[in-house]
Amino acid sequence: MEHLRIPGPTPCPEEILQAMTKQMINHRGEEFGQILNEVTAKLKILFQTKGDVVILTGSGTGGLEAVIVNSLSPGDKVLSVSVGVFGERFAAIAEQFGAEVIPLCFEWGKAADADAVRQALQAEPKIKAVLVTHNETSTGVTNDLASISSVVKEFDKLLLVDAISSMSSINLPVDDWHCDVTVTGSQKGWMVPPGLVMVSLSQEGWQAQAKAKMPRFYWDFAKAKSYLEKGQTPWTPAISTIFGLSVSLEMMLREGLANIIARHARVGQAARDGVKSLGLSLFAEEGYASNTVTAIAAPDGLDTKKMLRILREEHRVVLSGGQQRLADKIFRIGHLGWVNEGDIEAVISALKVVLPQAGFRSAR
């Protein structure tokens, strides 16, 4: 088997893939309704919420668009707290739909600073909502969402969270941290193929939803909720992916959320220790390195493209390069979902062989 160590899609256990080979069922029938209700109840446990969770069919970016168009109206001022590619994407969607985006950008590799968020909110009282990426997959940084959230709530603003690559892997108690609308995607920490986005909404999230005027049809949380009450989705869902998610949630609840979070912390630590032992440096600011994706600064002399190719062709280890302006500047190891320390060891041993072949001369 290939060692697919990218930050999504992630490998899926055999039981989950098997569940997805089942014959189609009527998505307006009783059997599907039961599965949808069970899956939704289990998702709430992993989101650590008593609020609503809705399941939509689409990729993570579709989920980000859904969050924007269900929460905002054209002309609304929003503060975009951005530390990388996905933060910029969230802001770009808001802007595309007519929000007035006030950017608060931090250097890539650094975490967002809660005090800077406070200053930005003080400077512009008309801001309605704050956009935050919990775990910035492009830079391997996990923001201190608890602190950012407490600032956002000092000002009583709506908090919209991209938790696509953190939810279920890194602690994110949605209710305790007052996240109003929070989105994740099936192909990240959930051990399921792409196809589903899962979104939680607080009371305030629903109040905003009822007033939001941005154009929407397919992405409508209110429709999703009213159909969920009948055990249905408004449109044909990715039924097979829901079959997979149903098995994955059973596995996750058997392991327990606290254990899953602890496993990701161990795996993240193993990845960081491993790359440092090879003489490499992390791209993420100390103390904010993510437990689901490790970004490594490409050292002088290293040809990252060549390294990724040799890893893939000769070791069947698949890692990610950097995105946009980080291309050739970093490479990334994804370690979320179905992953343990042994998987990281395999990556580190392969890197040890390949780094010198791709031009890296360690100082050690």
The residue ranges that bind ligand PLP (CB under 6 A) are 7-8, 59-61, 86, 133, 135, 137, 162, 164-165, 185
Q: What torsion do the CA atoms of 136, 147, 283, 137 make, to the nearest 10 degrees?
A: -10
Name 153's Cβ contacts closer than 8 Å, sequence gap at least 6.
159, 178
Give least dist CB 331 to ligand PLP, A: 16
The answer to whether the beta carbons of residues 282 and 289 sit under 8 Å apart is yes
Nearer CB in complex with ligand PLP: 135/182: 135
Nearer CB in complex with ligand PLP: 71/358: 71
Nearer CB in complex with ligand PLP: 48/133: 133
Strand order in the sheet with 100-105: 52-57, 196-201, 181-185, 158-162, 127-133, 77-82, 100-105
Give least dist CB 85 to ligand PLP, A: 8
**Nearest to residue 257, comparing CAs of 166, 358, 140?**
166
Give least dist CB 90 to ligand PLP, A: 8
What residue number has its CB nearest to ligand PLP? 60
What is the distance between the alpha carbons of residues 86 and 131, in angstroms, rounded to a whole number?
11
Upper half-sphere CA count for residue 27 (Cβ side, 13 Å):
15
Query: Which tokens hold the place of 312?
Result: 């893939």
Give least dist CB 334 to ligand PLP, A: 9
Nearer CB in complex with ligand PLP: 57/246: 57
Give least dist CB 319 to ligand PLP, A: 15
Give least dist CB 133 to ligand PLP, A: 5
Give least dist CB 167 to ligand PLP, A: 10
Nearer CB in complex with ligand PLP: 32/139: 139
3-class secondary structure, 342: helix
Nearer CB in complex with ligand PLP: 32/331: 331
Nearer CB in complex with ligand PLP: 43/85: 85
What is the distance between the alpha carbons of residues 225 and 206, in angstroms, rounded to a whole number?
10
CA quadruple 42, 48, 49, 54: dihedral sign:
negative
Give least dist CB 86 to ligand PLP, A: 4
What is the distance between the alpha carbons of residues 78 and 145, in angstroms, rounded to a whole number?
17
Q: Ramachandran region of residue 195, left (φ > 0), alpha (ψ -120 to 50) or beta?
A: left
Nearer CB in complex with ligand PLP: 67/302: 67
